[in-house]
Amino acid sequence: MAKVTLKGSERTAVSGAHVLAPADPTERLEVSIIVRRRARQALQSRVAALGTGDRSAGHLSREEFATQHGATAPDLAAVRAFATANGLAVVQENAARRTVVLSGTVEQFGTAFSVQLQQFTHPGGTYRGRTGAIQLPAELDGVIEAVLGLDNRPQAKPHFRTRRTDSRAKKRAGATAPVSYTPTQVASLYGFPSGTGEGQCVAIIEMGGGFRPADLKTYFTGLKVGSPKVSAVSVDHGTNSPTGAANGPDGEVMLDIEVVGSIAPAANIVVYFTPNTDAGFLDAVTTAIHDTTNKPSVISISWGGPESTWTAQAMTAMDDAFQAAATMDITVCVASGDSGSADGLSDGSDHVDFPASSPYALGCGGTSLQANKKAITSEVVWNDGANGGASGGGISSFFPRPSWQSGIAAKHSNGKSIALTKRGVPDVAGDADPDTGYDVRIDGTNTVIGGTSAVAPLWAGLIARINQTTGTPTGYLNPQLYKNPQALRDITQGSNGDFKASKGWDACTGLGSPNGQALVGTSKTDAKSPR
Protein backbone atom coordinates (compact mmCIF):
# COMPACT_ATOMS: atom_id res chain seq x y z
CA MET A 1 0.00 0.00 0.00
CA ALA A 2 1.41 3.39 -1.03
CA LYS A 3 2.12 5.76 1.83
CA VAL A 4 2.81 9.50 2.10
CA THR A 5 4.48 11.62 4.79
CA LEU A 6 2.16 13.49 7.12
CA LYS A 7 3.23 17.11 6.76
CA GLY A 8 4.59 18.66 9.94
CA SER A 9 4.78 15.38 11.87
CA GLU A 10 8.59 15.26 12.12
CA ARG A 11 9.83 14.65 15.66
CA THR A 12 13.29 14.87 17.23
CA ALA A 13 14.32 13.48 20.59
CA VAL A 14 14.22 15.61 23.73
CA SER A 15 17.53 17.42 24.24
CA GLY A 16 19.96 15.13 26.04
CA ALA A 17 17.79 12.04 25.56
CA HIS A 18 18.96 8.64 24.36
CA VAL A 19 17.21 5.39 23.55
CA LEU A 20 16.90 2.81 26.32
CA ALA A 21 15.11 0.11 24.36
CA PRO A 22 12.27 -0.44 21.92
CA ALA A 23 8.87 0.34 23.46
CA ASP A 24 6.99 -2.69 24.74
CA PRO A 25 5.09 -3.95 21.67
CA THR A 26 2.13 -5.01 23.84
CA GLU A 27 1.77 -1.64 25.60
CA ARG A 28 -1.66 -0.17 24.91
CA LEU A 29 -2.10 3.51 24.12
CA GLU A 30 -4.62 5.96 22.73
CA VAL A 31 -3.88 8.26 19.82
CA SER A 32 -5.86 11.31 18.68
CA ILE A 33 -6.45 11.65 14.94
CA ILE A 34 -7.36 15.15 13.73
CA VAL A 35 -9.17 15.26 10.39
CA ARG A 36 -9.74 18.19 8.07
CA ARG A 37 -12.72 20.47 8.56
CA ARG A 38 -15.44 21.14 6.05
CA ALA A 39 -15.71 24.54 4.31
CA ARG A 40 -12.23 25.57 5.46
CA GLN A 41 -12.02 28.43 2.96
CA ALA A 42 -15.27 29.94 4.24
CA LEU A 43 -14.00 29.70 7.81
CA GLN A 44 -10.70 31.32 6.89
CA SER A 45 -12.56 34.22 5.28
CA ARG A 46 -14.60 34.70 8.44
CA VAL A 47 -11.51 34.53 10.65
CA ALA A 48 -9.64 36.96 8.38
CA ALA A 49 -12.47 39.47 8.75
CA LEU A 50 -12.37 39.10 12.53
CA GLY A 51 -8.61 39.63 12.37
CA THR A 52 -9.13 43.08 10.90
CA GLY A 53 -11.47 43.95 13.75
CA ASP A 54 -14.54 43.64 11.53
CA ARG A 55 -17.14 42.47 14.01
CA SER A 56 -19.85 42.60 11.33
CA ALA A 57 -18.47 39.29 10.04
CA GLY A 58 -20.70 37.68 12.62
CA HIS A 59 -20.12 34.75 14.91
CA LEU A 60 -21.34 31.19 15.13
CA SER A 61 -22.89 29.24 17.95
CA ARG A 62 -21.24 25.95 18.86
CA GLU A 63 -24.00 24.08 17.10
CA GLU A 64 -23.69 26.21 13.95
CA PHE A 65 -19.94 25.78 13.94
CA ALA A 66 -20.20 22.00 14.22
CA THR A 67 -22.63 21.86 11.32
CA GLN A 68 -20.72 24.24 9.06
CA HIS A 69 -17.10 23.46 9.94
CA GLY A 70 -16.91 20.13 11.73
CA ALA A 71 -15.57 16.94 10.18
CA THR A 72 -17.55 15.31 7.37
CA ALA A 73 -19.13 11.88 7.72
CA PRO A 74 -17.06 10.41 4.84
CA ASP A 75 -13.79 11.57 6.42
CA LEU A 76 -14.72 10.07 9.78
CA ALA A 77 -15.74 6.86 8.03
CA ALA A 78 -12.36 6.73 6.25
CA VAL A 79 -10.54 6.92 9.59
CA ARG A 80 -12.76 4.18 11.02
CA ALA A 81 -11.97 1.97 8.01
CA PHE A 82 -8.24 2.65 8.48
CA ALA A 83 -8.54 1.68 12.15
CA THR A 84 -10.33 -1.57 11.34
CA ALA A 85 -7.75 -2.50 8.71
CA ASN A 86 -4.99 -2.09 11.29
CA GLY A 87 -6.70 -3.78 14.23
CA LEU A 88 -7.25 -0.47 16.06
CA ALA A 89 -10.38 0.35 18.05
CA VAL A 90 -12.31 3.62 17.87
CA VAL A 91 -12.90 4.73 21.48
CA GLN A 92 -14.16 8.24 20.81
CA GLU A 93 -15.35 10.26 17.83
CA ASN A 94 -16.38 13.92 17.78
CA ALA A 95 -17.26 15.64 14.52
CA ALA A 96 -17.23 19.17 16.00
CA ARG A 97 -13.72 18.66 17.41
CA ARG A 98 -12.71 16.75 14.23
CA THR A 99 -11.16 14.16 16.53
CA VAL A 100 -11.14 10.38 16.44
CA VAL A 101 -9.39 8.64 19.34
CA LEU A 102 -7.97 5.22 18.47
CA SER A 103 -6.79 2.52 20.86
CA GLY A 104 -4.26 -0.21 20.15
CA THR A 105 -0.84 -1.59 20.96
CA VAL A 106 2.58 -0.11 20.26
CA GLU A 107 3.08 -2.76 17.61
CA GLN A 108 -0.23 -2.00 15.89
CA PHE A 109 0.34 1.74 15.82
CA GLY A 110 3.92 1.27 14.66
CA THR A 111 2.69 -0.73 11.69
CA ALA A 112 -0.25 1.57 10.96
CA PHE A 113 1.89 4.75 10.82
CA SER A 114 5.29 3.28 9.85
CA VAL A 115 6.98 4.54 13.01
CA GLN A 116 9.30 2.91 15.51
CA LEU A 117 8.28 3.71 19.06
CA GLN A 118 11.09 3.55 21.60
CA GLN A 119 11.68 4.18 25.28
CA PHE A 120 13.87 7.25 25.84
CA THR A 121 15.62 8.51 28.94
CA HIS A 122 16.67 12.10 29.57
CA PRO A 123 17.59 14.25 32.59
CA GLY A 124 13.90 14.86 33.33
CA GLY A 125 12.80 11.23 33.23
CA THR A 126 11.67 8.73 30.60
CA TYR A 127 9.09 8.76 27.84
CA ARG A 128 7.78 6.71 24.95
CA GLY A 129 8.77 8.48 21.78
CA ARG A 130 9.59 8.47 18.12
CA THR A 131 11.84 10.35 15.72
CA GLY A 132 11.21 11.20 12.10
CA ALA A 133 7.86 11.55 10.37
CA ILE A 134 4.55 9.68 10.39
CA GLN A 135 3.42 7.89 7.24
CA LEU A 136 -0.20 7.70 6.09
CA PRO A 137 -1.95 5.64 3.42
CA ALA A 138 -2.10 7.71 0.25
CA GLU A 139 -5.91 7.74 0.31
CA LEU A 140 -5.82 9.58 3.67
CA ASP A 141 -3.47 12.28 2.43
CA GLY A 142 -5.20 15.57 3.19
CA VAL A 143 -7.91 13.84 5.21
CA ILE A 144 -5.79 13.41 8.36
CA GLU A 145 -4.10 16.63 9.50
CA ALA A 146 -2.47 15.47 12.73
CA VAL A 147 -1.67 12.26 14.63
CA LEU A 148 -0.97 13.01 18.28
CA GLY A 149 -0.20 10.80 21.26
CA LEU A 150 2.18 8.24 19.80
CA ASP A 151 4.83 10.19 21.70
CA ASN A 152 3.99 10.79 25.37
CA ARG A 153 6.84 13.12 26.35
CA PRO A 154 5.78 15.98 28.69
CA GLN A 155 4.76 18.68 26.20
CA ALA A 156 4.37 21.71 28.44
CA LYS A 157 5.37 23.27 31.74
CA PRO A 158 3.31 25.31 34.18
CA HIS A 159 4.32 28.98 34.17
CA PHE A 160 4.28 29.85 37.86
CA ARG A 161 7.13 30.85 40.16
CA THR A 162 7.20 30.67 43.93
CA ARG A 163 8.85 33.46 45.86
CA ARG A 164 12.50 32.79 46.62
CA THR A 165 13.65 33.30 50.19
CA ASP A 166 17.41 33.02 49.70
CA SER A 167 19.74 35.96 50.29
CA ARG A 168 20.36 36.49 46.59
CA ALA A 169 16.69 37.21 46.05
CA LYS A 170 16.64 39.69 48.90
CA LYS A 171 19.78 41.45 47.69
CA ARG A 172 18.90 41.96 44.03
CA ALA A 173 20.27 45.26 42.84
CA GLY A 174 17.66 47.96 43.35
CA ALA A 175 15.12 45.53 44.74
CA THR A 176 12.52 46.76 47.18
CA ALA A 177 11.15 44.68 50.01
CA PRO A 178 8.87 41.90 48.78
CA VAL A 179 5.15 42.56 48.94
CA SER A 180 2.08 40.55 48.01
CA TYR A 181 -1.50 41.18 47.00
CA THR A 182 -4.74 39.30 46.92
CA PRO A 183 -6.19 38.92 43.41
CA THR A 184 -8.98 41.34 44.35
CA GLN A 185 -6.41 43.97 45.34
CA VAL A 186 -4.66 43.55 41.96
CA ALA A 187 -8.01 43.88 40.20
CA SER A 188 -8.73 47.08 42.11
CA LEU A 189 -5.32 48.57 41.29
CA TYR A 190 -5.92 47.89 37.60
CA GLY A 191 -9.37 49.49 37.77
CA PHE A 192 -11.33 46.38 36.85
CA PRO A 193 -15.02 47.11 36.28
CA SER A 194 -17.33 46.01 39.06
CA GLY A 195 -18.94 42.64 38.63
CA THR A 196 -18.92 39.04 39.70
CA GLY A 197 -18.77 37.22 36.37
CA GLU A 198 -22.36 36.07 36.81
CA GLY A 199 -23.64 34.21 33.79
CA GLN A 200 -20.14 33.42 32.52
CA CYS A 201 -18.19 30.18 32.37
CA VAL A 202 -14.39 30.27 32.61
CA ALA A 203 -12.53 27.18 31.44
CA ILE A 204 -9.13 26.38 32.92
CA ILE A 205 -6.78 23.88 31.23
CA GLU A 206 -4.59 21.78 33.57
CA MET A 207 -2.11 19.00 32.78
CA GLY A 208 -1.50 17.57 36.21
CA GLY A 209 -2.15 18.16 39.88
CA GLY A 210 -5.47 19.05 41.37
CA PHE A 211 -7.48 21.05 43.88
CA ARG A 212 -9.06 20.30 47.24
CA PRO A 213 -12.49 21.87 47.79
CA ALA A 214 -11.71 22.46 51.48
CA ASP A 215 -8.74 24.65 50.55
CA LEU A 216 -10.86 26.64 48.11
CA LYS A 217 -13.58 27.15 50.70
CA THR A 218 -11.05 28.39 53.26
CA TYR A 219 -9.40 30.71 50.74
CA PHE A 220 -12.55 32.31 49.35
CA THR A 221 -14.12 32.61 52.81
CA GLY A 222 -11.05 34.55 53.91
CA LEU A 223 -11.44 36.93 50.97
CA LYS A 224 -15.18 37.28 51.66
CA VAL A 225 -16.07 36.88 47.99
CA GLY A 226 -18.45 33.96 48.31
CA SER A 227 -17.84 30.40 47.14
CA PRO A 228 -17.36 30.08 43.38
CA LYS A 229 -18.73 26.97 41.69
CA VAL A 230 -15.74 24.84 40.63
CA SER A 231 -16.08 21.56 38.77
CA ALA A 232 -13.69 19.18 37.01
CA VAL A 233 -13.95 17.60 33.56
CA SER A 234 -11.81 14.56 32.68
CA VAL A 235 -10.15 14.57 29.26
CA ASP A 236 -8.15 11.55 27.99
CA HIS A 237 -8.39 9.98 31.47
CA GLY A 238 -6.90 13.05 33.21
CA THR A 239 -8.36 13.63 36.67
CA ASN A 240 -8.37 16.06 39.57
CA SER A 241 -5.45 14.46 41.43
CA PRO A 242 -3.77 16.68 44.06
CA THR A 243 -0.17 15.64 44.65
CA GLY A 244 0.25 17.33 48.01
CA ALA A 245 3.29 19.26 46.73
CA ALA A 246 2.71 23.02 46.58
CA ASN A 247 5.72 23.48 44.29
CA GLY A 248 4.32 20.95 41.82
CA PRO A 249 1.31 21.12 39.52
CA ASP A 250 -1.05 21.68 42.47
CA GLY A 251 0.45 25.17 42.65
CA GLU A 252 -0.66 25.85 39.10
CA VAL A 253 -4.15 24.47 39.55
CA MET A 254 -4.86 26.33 42.78
CA LEU A 255 -3.35 29.60 41.53
CA ASP A 256 -5.51 29.53 38.42
CA ILE A 257 -8.74 28.74 40.27
CA GLU A 258 -8.12 31.21 43.08
CA VAL A 259 -7.28 34.12 40.80
CA VAL A 260 -10.29 33.56 38.54
CA GLY A 261 -12.60 32.78 41.46
CA SER A 262 -11.58 35.87 43.41
CA ILE A 263 -12.24 38.21 40.49
CA ALA A 264 -15.32 36.44 39.08
CA PRO A 265 -16.81 34.61 42.10
CA ALA A 266 -20.22 34.12 40.47
CA ALA A 267 -18.78 32.59 37.30
CA ASN A 268 -18.95 28.88 36.63
CA ILE A 269 -15.32 27.68 36.77
CA VAL A 270 -14.67 24.42 34.92
CA VAL A 271 -11.24 22.79 35.13
CA TYR A 272 -10.36 20.44 32.25
CA PHE A 273 -7.78 17.92 33.48
CA THR A 274 -5.71 16.12 30.86
CA PRO A 275 -2.38 14.27 30.52
CA ASN A 276 0.68 16.40 29.77
CA THR A 277 1.14 15.31 26.14
CA ASP A 278 0.54 17.03 22.82
CA ALA A 279 -2.62 14.95 22.37
CA GLY A 280 -3.86 15.69 25.88
CA PHE A 281 -3.24 19.43 25.56
CA LEU A 282 -5.11 19.75 22.26
CA ASP A 283 -7.93 17.45 23.35
CA ALA A 284 -8.53 19.50 26.51
CA VAL A 285 -8.61 22.76 24.56
CA THR A 286 -10.99 21.45 21.89
CA THR A 287 -13.17 19.83 24.55
CA ALA A 288 -13.52 23.19 26.32
CA ILE A 289 -14.15 25.11 23.08
CA HIS A 290 -16.88 22.73 21.91
CA ASP A 291 -18.41 22.07 25.34
CA THR A 292 -22.14 22.52 24.69
CA THR A 293 -22.98 21.86 28.36
CA ASN A 294 -20.79 24.42 30.17
CA LYS A 295 -20.27 26.78 27.19
CA PRO A 296 -17.12 28.63 28.33
CA SER A 297 -16.85 32.24 27.17
CA VAL A 298 -13.23 32.49 28.35
CA ILE A 299 -10.39 29.94 28.44
CA SER A 300 -7.34 30.35 30.69
CA ILE A 301 -4.13 28.46 29.85
CA SER A 302 -1.02 28.73 32.01
CA TRP A 303 0.99 25.92 30.41
CA GLY A 304 3.30 25.97 27.40
CA GLY A 305 6.74 25.36 25.96
CA PRO A 306 9.17 26.78 23.40
CA GLU A 307 7.93 26.58 19.82
CA SER A 308 10.95 24.47 18.90
CA THR A 309 9.75 21.66 21.20
CA TRP A 310 6.47 21.26 19.32
CA THR A 311 5.75 19.55 16.03
CA ALA A 312 4.35 21.72 13.28
CA GLN A 313 1.25 19.51 13.09
CA ALA A 314 0.51 20.06 16.79
CA MET A 315 0.97 23.84 16.62
CA THR A 316 -1.18 24.07 13.51
CA ALA A 317 -3.93 21.97 15.11
CA MET A 318 -3.92 24.09 18.29
CA ASP A 319 -3.91 27.33 16.30
CA ASP A 320 -6.80 25.98 14.25
CA ALA A 321 -8.70 25.31 17.50
CA PHE A 322 -8.09 28.88 18.64
CA GLN A 323 -9.42 30.15 15.31
CA ALA A 324 -12.56 28.14 15.97
CA ALA A 325 -12.80 29.76 19.40
CA ALA A 326 -12.55 33.21 17.78
CA THR A 327 -15.49 32.48 15.51
CA MET A 328 -17.53 31.38 18.53
CA ASP A 329 -16.73 34.51 20.58
CA ILE A 330 -14.50 32.70 23.06
CA THR A 331 -11.46 34.57 24.44
CA VAL A 332 -8.34 32.44 24.95
CA CYS A 333 -5.84 33.85 27.50
CA VAL A 334 -2.40 32.19 27.53
CA ALA A 335 0.66 32.77 29.73
CA SER A 336 3.72 33.87 27.70
CA GLY A 337 6.28 32.02 29.84
CA ASP A 338 8.55 32.73 32.79
CA SER A 339 12.02 32.38 31.29
CA GLY A 340 12.54 35.62 29.41
CA SER A 341 13.58 35.97 25.78
CA ALA A 342 15.30 32.55 25.72
CA ASP A 343 12.20 30.75 27.03
CA GLY A 344 14.39 28.47 29.11
CA LEU A 345 16.58 27.15 26.27
CA SER A 346 20.36 27.47 26.35
CA ASP A 347 21.16 27.50 22.63
CA GLY A 348 21.93 31.23 22.60
CA SER A 349 18.87 32.08 20.50
CA ASP A 350 15.61 33.82 21.31
CA HIS A 351 12.46 31.72 21.61
CA VAL A 352 8.79 32.35 22.30
CA ASP A 353 6.38 30.11 24.14
CA PHE A 354 3.55 28.23 22.49
CA PRO A 355 0.53 28.32 22.60
CA ALA A 356 0.88 31.98 23.61
CA SER A 357 2.48 32.60 20.19
CA SER A 358 -0.70 31.66 18.32
CA PRO A 359 -2.12 34.85 16.74
CA TYR A 360 -5.52 33.78 18.06
CA ALA A 361 -4.38 33.65 21.68
CA LEU A 362 -4.18 36.67 23.98
CA GLY A 363 -0.54 36.30 25.02
CA CYS A 364 -0.10 37.40 28.67
CA GLY A 365 3.31 38.68 29.81
CA GLY A 366 4.51 39.77 33.24
CA THR A 367 5.32 42.91 35.23
CA SER A 368 6.60 43.83 38.67
CA LEU A 369 3.94 45.91 40.42
CA GLN A 370 4.49 48.33 43.28
CA ALA A 371 1.57 50.16 44.87
CA ASN A 372 0.35 52.00 47.93
CA LYS A 373 -3.05 51.22 49.36
CA LYS A 374 -4.92 53.01 46.58
CA ALA A 375 -2.80 53.29 43.46
CA ILE A 376 0.07 51.87 41.43
CA THR A 377 3.33 53.65 42.15
CA SER A 378 5.59 51.72 39.77
CA GLU A 379 5.27 49.01 37.14
CA VAL A 380 8.16 47.61 35.11
CA VAL A 381 8.98 44.43 33.21
CA TRP A 382 9.23 41.43 35.51
CA ASN A 383 12.84 40.22 35.48
CA ASP A 384 14.47 38.57 38.47
CA GLY A 385 17.86 38.40 36.78
CA ALA A 386 19.94 35.41 35.74
CA ASN A 387 18.92 33.29 38.72
CA GLY A 388 15.20 33.95 38.54
CA GLY A 389 12.38 34.35 36.08
CA ALA A 390 11.33 36.98 33.56
CA SER A 391 8.40 37.75 31.33
CA GLY A 392 8.39 35.56 28.23
CA GLY A 393 8.29 37.40 24.93
CA GLY A 394 9.88 37.83 21.54
CA ILE A 395 9.17 37.00 17.91
CA SER A 396 7.67 33.74 16.70
CA SER A 397 9.64 31.58 14.31
CA PHE A 398 6.48 29.79 13.11
CA PHE A 399 3.47 32.09 12.87
CA PRO A 400 3.25 34.97 10.36
CA ARG A 401 2.69 38.49 11.61
CA PRO A 402 -1.04 39.14 12.05
CA SER A 403 -2.48 42.19 10.33
CA TRP A 404 -3.11 43.93 13.63
CA GLN A 405 0.65 43.93 14.36
CA SER A 406 1.57 45.65 11.09
CA GLY A 407 4.06 48.47 11.47
CA ILE A 408 5.28 47.29 14.88
CA ALA A 409 8.90 46.76 15.87
CA ALA A 410 10.55 44.97 18.78
CA LYS A 411 13.22 46.96 20.56
CA HIS A 412 16.33 44.90 21.24
CA SER A 413 18.31 45.43 24.44
CA ASN A 414 21.24 46.62 22.29
CA GLY A 415 19.08 49.53 21.17
CA LYS A 416 18.23 48.26 17.71
CA SER A 417 14.64 47.90 16.58
CA ILE A 418 13.50 44.78 14.75
CA ALA A 419 10.48 45.20 12.48
CA LEU A 420 8.06 42.35 12.98
CA THR A 421 7.77 39.94 10.09
CA LYS A 422 6.39 37.18 12.34
CA ARG A 423 3.98 37.18 15.27
CA GLY A 424 5.17 39.26 18.23
CA VAL A 425 4.60 38.02 21.81
CA PRO A 426 3.01 38.95 24.23
CA ASP A 427 -0.07 41.12 23.66
CA VAL A 428 -0.79 42.25 27.21
CA ALA A 429 0.68 41.93 30.68
CA GLY A 430 -0.06 41.99 34.39
CA ASP A 431 1.59 41.51 37.77
CA ALA A 432 3.78 38.37 37.67
CA ASP A 433 6.82 39.05 39.88
CA PRO A 434 6.88 36.61 42.84
CA ASP A 435 8.27 39.48 44.91
CA THR A 436 5.06 41.40 44.16
CA GLY A 437 3.05 38.20 43.91
CA TYR A 438 -0.34 36.79 44.79
CA ASP A 439 -1.51 35.50 48.16
CA VAL A 440 -2.84 31.99 47.52
CA ARG A 441 -3.58 28.79 49.40
CA ILE A 442 -2.16 25.47 48.16
CA ASP A 443 -2.43 22.07 49.83
CA GLY A 444 -3.37 23.57 53.18
CA THR A 445 -0.63 26.21 53.17
CA ASN A 446 -0.86 29.95 52.54
CA THR A 447 1.92 31.12 50.25
CA VAL A 448 2.86 33.69 47.59
CA ILE A 449 3.15 32.83 43.90
CA GLY A 450 3.96 34.77 40.77
CA GLY A 451 4.71 34.02 37.14
CA THR A 452 2.77 34.65 33.96
CA SER A 453 0.58 31.76 35.13
CA ALA A 454 -1.12 34.34 37.32
CA VAL A 455 -1.64 36.76 34.43
CA ALA A 456 -3.67 34.47 32.17
CA PRO A 457 -6.35 33.82 34.85
CA LEU A 458 -6.19 37.50 35.87
CA TRP A 459 -7.18 38.49 32.33
CA ALA A 460 -9.71 35.65 32.15
CA GLY A 461 -11.42 36.96 35.29
CA LEU A 462 -11.36 40.50 33.90
CA ILE A 463 -12.97 39.38 30.65
CA ALA A 464 -15.64 37.46 32.56
CA ARG A 465 -16.52 40.71 34.35
CA ILE A 466 -16.54 42.65 31.08
CA ASN A 467 -18.77 40.04 29.44
CA GLN A 468 -21.20 40.36 32.34
CA THR A 469 -21.11 44.16 32.21
CA THR A 470 -21.67 44.48 28.46
CA GLY A 471 -23.98 41.51 28.06
CA THR A 472 -21.90 40.51 25.03
CA PRO A 473 -19.00 38.05 24.88
CA THR A 474 -15.70 39.82 24.26
CA GLY A 475 -14.36 37.05 22.06
CA TYR A 476 -11.30 37.63 19.89
CA LEU A 477 -9.96 40.77 21.57
CA ASN A 478 -6.52 41.19 19.98
CA PRO A 479 -7.49 43.30 16.93
CA GLN A 480 -9.49 45.71 19.11
CA LEU A 481 -6.65 46.12 21.62
CA TYR A 482 -4.13 47.07 18.95
CA LYS A 483 -6.57 49.68 17.62
CA ASN A 484 -7.14 51.04 21.13
CA PRO A 485 -3.84 50.96 23.04
CA GLN A 486 -5.20 53.51 25.50
CA ALA A 487 -7.06 50.60 27.06
CA LEU A 488 -3.71 49.40 28.44
CA ARG A 489 -1.18 50.87 30.86
CA ASP A 490 1.99 51.17 28.77
CA ILE A 491 5.08 49.65 30.44
CA THR A 492 8.26 51.44 29.29
CA GLN A 493 10.96 50.27 31.69
CA GLY A 494 12.85 47.01 32.02
CA SER A 495 13.83 44.08 29.82
CA ASN A 496 13.29 40.32 29.61
CA GLY A 497 16.80 39.55 28.38
CA ASP A 498 17.29 40.35 24.71
CA PHE A 499 14.25 42.62 24.43
CA LYS A 500 13.60 45.95 26.06
CA ALA A 501 10.42 47.73 27.10
CA SER A 502 9.54 50.77 25.04
CA LYS A 503 6.69 53.14 24.31
CA GLY A 504 3.84 51.28 22.69
CA TRP A 505 4.03 47.55 22.06
CA ASP A 506 7.17 45.70 23.13
CA ALA A 507 8.32 42.07 23.28
CA CYS A 508 8.29 42.05 27.09
CA THR A 509 4.84 43.27 28.14
CA GLY A 510 3.01 43.74 24.83
CA LEU A 511 0.71 46.75 24.89
CA GLY A 512 0.82 46.84 28.69
CA SER A 513 -1.24 45.97 31.76
CA PRO A 514 -5.00 46.45 32.14
CA ASN A 515 -6.70 49.82 32.27
CA GLY A 516 -9.94 48.25 33.42
CA GLN A 517 -12.68 50.74 32.62
CA ALA A 518 -11.19 51.64 29.25
CA LEU A 519 -11.21 47.96 28.31
CA VAL A 520 -14.98 47.80 28.76
CA GLY A 521 -15.49 50.28 25.93
CA THR A 522 -12.94 48.53 23.73
CA SER A 523 -14.73 45.21 23.96
CA LYS A 524 -18.21 46.49 23.13
CA THR A 525 -19.73 45.41 19.86
CA ASP A 526 -22.64 46.71 17.84
CA ALA A 527 -24.52 43.45 17.78
CA LYS A 528 -24.90 40.58 20.14
CA SER A 529 -23.33 37.30 19.16
CA PRO A 530 -24.82 33.83 19.60
CA ARG A 531 -23.77 32.00 22.74
| 188 flagged as catalytic | no
CB 30 within 8 A of CB 128: no
Give the three-state DSSP class for 215.
helix
| 453 flagged as catalytic | yes
CB 90 within 8 A of CB 102: yes
> For the CA atoms of the chain, what is the radius of gyration?
22
Cite the DSSP H helix spans in 224-305.
249-263, 278-289
CB 278 within 8 A of CB 207: no
Closest Cα partner for 495 from 371, 350, 343, 382? 382
Of the residues 145, 215, 236, 256, only one is catalytic, namely 256
CB 136 within 8 A of CB 6: yes
Cα–Cα distance for residue pair 282/149, rounded to 1 Å: 10
Please report, as a single letter, which amino acid is at residue 345: L
CB 480 within 8 A of CB 523: yes
Closest Cα partner for 182 from 7, 373, 327, 19? 373
CB 51 within 8 A of CB 402: yes
State residue 367 phi and psi, 5-degree precision.
-125, 170
Sign for the CA dihedral angle at 378, 298, 319, 127 comes to positive
Cite the DSSP H helix spans in 52-146.
62-69, 73-85, 106-113
Closest Cα partner for 355 from 340, 338, 333, 381? 333
Cα–Cα distance for residue pair 217/361, rounded to 1 Å: 31
Of the residues 145, 206, 236, 252, only one is catalytic, namely 252
Cα–Cα distance for residue pair 357/364, rounded to 1 Å: 10
From residue 407, alpha-carbon distances to 171, 400, 424, 526 in Å are 40, 14, 11, 28
State residue 28 phi and psi, 5-degree precision.
-95, 140
Residues 6+ apart with CB under 8 A from 441: 215, 216, 218, 219, 222, 254, 258, 447
Sign for the CA dihedral angle at 319, 320, 323, 328 comes to negative
Give the three-state DSSP class for 187.
helix
| 24 flagged as catalytic | no
Which residues are part of the catalytic machinery? 252, 256, 453
